[in-house]
Structure 1
Amino acid sequence: MDQSAWSEISALVGAAPYPVQVLAADPERAAACLAALEITTRSWLGAVVANSGGLLIDHGWLRVLGAGYDGLPDVAAEMARGAGRLVVAFDVMGGQFAWLQAEPCVRPTVHYFGPEDLTWQDLELGYGDWLEVMLTGAMTEFYEGLRWPGWEAEVASIALDQGIHTWPPPWTSEGKDLSAVSRKPIRLAELVSVQQEFARQLGFL
C-alpha cells in the first residue's frame, strides 16, 4: 500500500503561521487527475491532488492546485503540453508557480512567473520543498513588495476564479506602490493572459 505524504502536509497546514483552507476533493476527479499525471499519493503533489480540491494559503493569496474545485482548475488541466511545464499554483496577483525540468537529466524544480518583473525565476526547490516553505511562513517575505495595507480582507473577498488587476501594473515604476494604484478584481485567467502578453511584447518570453 502506498504511504501517502498527506499526513506530513496536513501537519504543516495545521501549524501554518497564516490561514490555510483545504478545499474538498471530488474522489472521481482526484483519481482522474492522478492518472493523467501518472503519480501516486506517495509524492507531495499526488497527496495534494488525492486529498484536496486545492489549498488556499494566507487568506487565499496563494491558490495551490489540487483535484479542482468550483472556480479553481485541477493540476492536470494546467499541464502545458510540449512545454514540459506543470502549473501547480496561482497567486491573487496573477503570478504562476510551475514545476518544470529546466535541463535534461536535472531534477524538476518550481519556477515563479511574477507580476513585478514578468520573467520566470527558478526557485531551485522541488515541489515538496516549495510547498513546505510556503506553508511554514515564507510567503510573508516572498510577497512583501506586492502587498498593501488591508490586503487580507480584499483578497479574501474575491472569488476563486478571480485575481486582482492593478493599474499601473507592478512591473512599472509607477505601479510599485500597491497602496496607491487602482485595484479591481478580474478573472484570474484574463489577468494571467494579460501579463503573459505584456511579457511577450517586452521580449521577456
Structure 2
Amino acid sequence: MTDTGLTTGDFTQENEPFSLFGAWLKEAQTSELNDPNAVALATVDGDGLPDVRMVLLKDFDQRGFVFYTNFESQKGREILANSKAAMCFHWKSLRRQVRVRGPVEIVSDAEADEYYKTRPRGSRIGAWASKQSRPLESRFALEKAVAEYTARYAIGDIPRPLHWSGFRIMPTSIEFWKDGAFRLHDRIQFSRDAPQGDWGKIRMYP
C-alpha cells in the first residue's frame, strides 16, 4: 500500500487510482470509529435484480480489491454466475466515497490459505459451521454445528473449506468523490477498457 501524502485539496492531480485509494484508506483508518475497510458490495442475481450488502476489504494492490466469503452464499453464487461486481466505500468522517466496478476473479488457493490462517480460530470454525444465506431452522442448529466442528478440529490446524475463498474485483472504473460546499462536490473518475489497460481520468459534474 502506497502513501502518497495526498491531501483533500490536491487529490484531483493524481493520475493513478490505487495509490490515491491507499492514501484515502490510510486516513480512514485513523478517523473511522469502526471498520474503515467496510464496503458495500453489489452483485446481480439470475433475474437481473441487484443485491447489495456490506463486506470487509481484506487486501488490495494493482490487481484489484479482495474480499473473502462462502462461495455457496448468495453473493458467492451470484458472482460465480456473473463474474462482475461493484463496491462503494463511504467514509463519513472524511466525507469521501470511492466507487469500484469491474470483472471478478477467484483468488489463488495460496492467497486464500494464507488469509484463512490469520483468522481467529472461532471464525475458521464458523466457515465450516455456517451454511451462509440458507434458511436456519433455529439458533440452536447453528450452535450445534459450531460445537460439532469445534470437537472435530479440537487439536491441530483447521483446514480451509473448499467452498470458502476470496474474490478479486479487477476494476475497470474507480471513482473518487469528496464533499464540497453547496453540494458542489469533487468527482474524479478513472476508467480503462480492460483490467490490464491504461487508465484514463476525467472530472465529473457533481
TM-score grouping bracket, smaller chain normalisation: under 0.3
TM-score by length of 2: 0.25
- Structure with bigger gyration radius: 2
Q: Which structure's residues are more often helix, by fraction?
A: 1
Structure showing the higher strand proportion among its residues: 2
Higher relative contact order (CA 8 A, sep 6+): 2
